[in-house]
Amino acid sequence: MPKRQVLLSSSSLYKDGSYLEHVRPYIEKLLTKNNAKHVLFIPYALASGDHDGYTKKVETILGKWGFQVDGIHKSPDQIASIKKAQAIFIGGGNTFLLLKHLYDKKLVEAIRSRIIDDGIPYIGSSAGTNVAARSIQTTNDMPIICPGSFDALKLVPFHINPHYLDPDTNSTHRGETREERILEFLMVNERPCLALREGTCLIIEGKDATLVGPANAILFRKGKEPTEFPPGTNFGFLFDECKD
């Protein structure tokens, strides 16, 4: 079976950088070594529904890097487009809306099969990272639409919290902090959640899952203290811990 090749970015933007700029070397490397010149882009996370505009934006950026981008929404047969895709990129927006589109259009199994069985590269950013995980149960997004199930593409057997935000010690706000929300998640679920701060990225190659970027990740496990891990950490042990 081919190796799983998945790049999961916490965010599409980092600080003042332009779109995807901070992950450009990782994306270029992944696509180049797979000889992927065409990227199938899935724009369904965008709540405004301007899929053309979103695809155009991604096309402009990835075009400069030497890759061609096709928006899946233009395809008369989306399953066929996935079956012949050289690489798949799902961008950010609203995770619930994205997953609802994937279910309604019956794309979940088709995408998963291309990544797991055929080994083509998957790139996810923000909502695209949420749907790559075991489920969307650790998204930060507002549940603006009900996807029916929270089960996601399961490209990794654990949960991911992108855009992880440290508690603001100056805040007088009495809603839960992000940490408290993930701890609530672990009170009713078993599998771990890996929290990725902005600017960081998880690069999965087969059974290796390496953290890259400017910040630690935090691993939240049931019944254990949340633990910080530095860039360079291989989270491959989570594949064994979780089973698939």
Where on the chain is the footprint of a copy of itself (CB under 8 A)?
A: 11-15, 47-49, 93-94, 96-97, 126, 136-146, 148-150, 163, 165, 172-176, 181-185, 187-189, 198
- Tell me the sheet residues that pair with 89: 41, 123
Report, in Å, the least distance between residue 148 CB and a copy of itself.
8
Nearer to a copy of itself, 38 or 61 (CB): 61
**Which of a copy of itself, Ca ion, none has residue 20 at its interface (CB below 5 to 8 Å by kind)?**
none
Distance CA 111, CA 59 (A): 21
Long-range Cβ contact pairs of 186-189 (< 8 A, separation 24 or more) = 186/220, 186/221, 186/222, 186/223, 189/137, 189/159, 189/222
Q: Which does 145 bind (CB under 5 to 8 A by kind): Ca ion, a copy of itself, none?
A: a copy of itself
The answer to whether 116 and 207 have CB atoms below 8 angstroms apart is: no
| 126 is an active site residue | yes
Q: How far is the CB of 16 from a copy of itself (least distance, A)?
A: 8
Angle, vertex CA 155, rays to CA 68 and CA 83, nearest 5: 45
Q: Which of 10, 126, 135, 159 is catalytic?
A: 126
For the sheet with 217-220, list strands across it: 159-164, 193-197, 217-220, 227-229
CB of 199 to Ca ion, least distance (A): 16
Of 53-61, 137-145, 164-172, 234-242, the window that binds Ca ion (rule: CB under 5 A) is 137-145
Can 70 be counted among the known catalytic residues?
Answer: no
- Residue 72's binding partner among Ca ion, a copy of itself, none (Cβ under 5 to 8 angstroms by kind) is none
Asked if 141 is part of the footprint of Ca ion (rule: CB under 5 A), the reply reads yes
As measured in angstroms, the least distance from the Cβ of 54 to a copy of itself is 13
Closest approach of Cβ 181 to a copy of itself, in Å? 4
Residue showing tokens 């950026």: 61
- Contact window for Ca ion (CB under 5 A) among 78-86, 96-104, 139-147, 214-222: 139-147
3-state secondary structure string across 15-76: CCCCCCHHHHHHHHHHHHHCCCCEEEEECCCCCCCCHHHHHHHHHHHHHHCCCEEEEHHHCC
Angle, helices 95-104 vs 108-116, to 10°: value is 90
163 is catalytic: yes
Active site residues: 126, 141, 163
Report the interface residues with Ca ion, using CB under 5 A. 141
